[in-house]
Chains A and B, each alone.
Chain A
């Protein structure tokens, strides 16, 4: 009985892994690189959910740090905008003036943004306070929208300019973006772990926080309703994604681009749009995962959470066969179950390593993953 209980826990964790893994696998399929920042997008999803449910107070964050980071990003933007233009004094002057103004206003801008966020999340939280269903759905939608936006921005700002310059460049950039999001948000919201649940909203007690008790034979099975909702929602979202990729026109374009980008362009497909859409979809699911995994379970999380969770999800994608959506789901669920079972064994303290042990074993014996196909490099 205990095992069935744990199996269900494992599948629930696995379904969240699957949500994140499909994002890795789609991006890898289209661009052949590991989007390291994907795990951090998931973390942002968790925070977006937190703020939507509990509201957001501008005084709880470090607006000074936000300003500093904004200024650093502005410097980078300035440097990048000058690319190949260093001899043109007029251009330098104009941009310097522009960025000077931006620097001067950055503090004001951050202040405004925080105020705006306060207003927005405040009214969202107020709305959510009517019932757990409204609050939950609202948090889900908000985290999806915010993360989808972030995903597209990352793609446009960081990955698009370096496209076609080699995989190593892409990998290093992705690591950079991941560090930026992780440490940027840590500087702003602080390193402490947080936890929340929509179970605290009206009606949440019976819908989310309580357990479903099943009597089987002479034993009984306790399933947390929140976990069950996470499982169902995750599987529903992944199914939706697979539907989009299989049957819609955009999905067809995505498959074409991931199979052969040039040939796809010759069909009249705007490959840039398709790539951005891929990021949008993947990030949206990551955002949903971020909210679901924390907002319904009261697990603690912090800005550091995303990286490792994301990497494990990536391992799940590799396990299933990178580039294969079904594989990502399968891999995610296997990962979840494996981790849960190691967790309850006396070797529980080694739980964090199991993902990587699986990864190394898989890559040694079946580099293409469980459902992947092996390809040969052309000479």
Chain B
């Protein structure tokens, strides 16, 4: 579904990605793990068009992504819940969700139905529908960010650190929700610092280090891998 081949990204003179190649297949949850600054977020940002690779290609269902602007990429069916949630704090929960469906002007009824779906997925948000997003707690904001990304009906959902800064029991439920979303047929590319949790719900995983993929395997194998356990699982 998504193929990245030999991608290099630079921030000024600094090389952030040094030839990343990875693949996401239809229906999978694929996770990228690695330390801060390893290039996970940069990879996600390159897929959604926020940064441009200097070398390499990104291919989504046969269409090259690396030259498209971000809003075109959204239209192709890629949604993203960015790192740090980045909900529009000055708008209500409802407005945030409406913005998520910005590309789907023609189907008002469908959008309304999707909003109901988002509310059933996150009943918490329904309670706060008309509250401004800035007043939500961190967990609620994360739910909103994911719900907002789902409003564009993506076939591929990019999740950048969804558990960042959440209380442990919330982390649990966020991962449960990610699994649910996946079971409804959305392919997921997940970036996580919480390697343990991420590998538990993922089908496959990539380990990134200094802008390179150093290990790629089925998630279950990575969980058992000694060096991974040592470096990322704190053992």
**A/B: CB atoms within 8 Å of each other:** yes
Greatest chain B CB density within 10 A among A253, A267, A270, A272 is at A267
Task: Please tell me if the beta carbons of B86 and A268 are within 8 angstroms of each other in the complex.
Answer: no
Q: Contact between B91 and A265 (Cβ–Cβ < 8 Å)?
A: no
**Is A225 interfacial (CB-CB < 8 Å)?**
no
The answer to whether A268 and B82 have CB atoms under 8 Å apart is no
Q: How far is the CA of A266 from the CA of B99 in the complex (A)?
A: 10
Q: How far is the CA of A265 from the CA of B74 in the complex (A)?
A: 8
Given known contacts A265-B50, A269-B71, A255 and B102 CB-to-CB distance under 8 angstroms: no
Q: With an 8 A cutoff between CB atoms, is A236 at the interface?
A: no
Q: Considering the chains assembled together, what is the distance between the CA atoms of A255 and B95 in angstroms?
A: 11
A355 to chain B, nearest CB (A): 29
Q: How large is the interface on B (under 10, 10 to 19, 20 to 34, 35 or more residues)?
A: 20 to 34
Q: Are A267 and B90 in contact (CB under 8 A)?
A: no
Which residues of B are found within 8 Å of A264, using beta-carbon distances? 99
Give the complex CA separation of A267 and B148 in angstroms: 8
Most chain A CB atoms below 10 A, which of B80, B95, B102, B103: B102
Q: Chain A's nearest CB lies how many Å from the CB of B235?
A: 33
Q: A263 near B86 (CB under 8 angstroms)?
A: yes
Task: Please determine whether A268 and B88 come into contact, CB atoms closer than 8 angstroms.
Answer: no
> Contact check: which of B74, B91, B95, B105 meets A266 at CB < 8 Å?
B74
- Decide yes or no whether B114 CB sits under 8 A from chain A: no
Nearest CB of A to B60, in Å: 15
Q: Is B69 an interface residue (CB 8 A)?
A: yes
Query: What is the number of contacts between chain A and chain B, taking CB atoms within 8 Å?
Result: 65
Nearest-CB residue, chain A, relative to B98: A252
A259 to B148 alpha-carbon distance, docked (Å): 16
* CB of A12 within 8 Å of the partner chain: no
For B145, give the chain A residue with the smallest CB separation. Answer: A263
How far is the CB of A378 from the nearest CB of chain B, in Å? 11
- Give, as a whole number of angstroms, the nearest-CB distance from A272 to chain B: 8
Q: Is the CB–CB distance between B82 and A269 below 8 Å?
A: no
- Cβ B69 vs Cβ A270 within 8 A: yes
- Chain B nearest CB, measured from A242 CB (Å): 15
Chain A residues, Cβ within 8 Å of B100: 267
Task: List chain B residues, Cβ under 8 A from A269.
Answer: 71, 99, 102
Q: How far, in Å, is B115 (CB) from chain A's closest CB?
A: 14
Q: Which residues of B contact A192 (CB under 8 A)?
A: none
Q: Which residues of A line the B interface, CB within 8 A?
A: 249, 252-253, 255-256, 259-260, 262-272
- The 5 residue pairs across chains A and B that have the minimum distance between CB atoms: A268-B74, A268-B103, A265-B70, A263-B86, A270-B71
What would be 10 A-B contacts, judged by CB atoms less than 8 Å apart?
A: A249-B102, A252-B95, A253-B102, A259-B88, A259-B91, A263-B88, A264-B99, A267-B103, A268-B71, A269-B102
Chain B residues engaging chain A, CB cutoff 8 angstroms: 48-50, 69-71, 74-75, 79-80, 82, 86-91, 95, 98-100, 102-103, 105, 148-149, 152
Given A252-B91, A268-B71, 17 more A-B residue pairs with CB atoms under 8 Å apart are: A249-B105, A253-B102, A256-B88, A256-B99, A259-B89, A260-B86, A260-B88, A265-B71, A266-B48, A266-B79, A267-B74, A267-B100, A268-B103, A269-B99, A270-B71, A271-B71, A272-B69
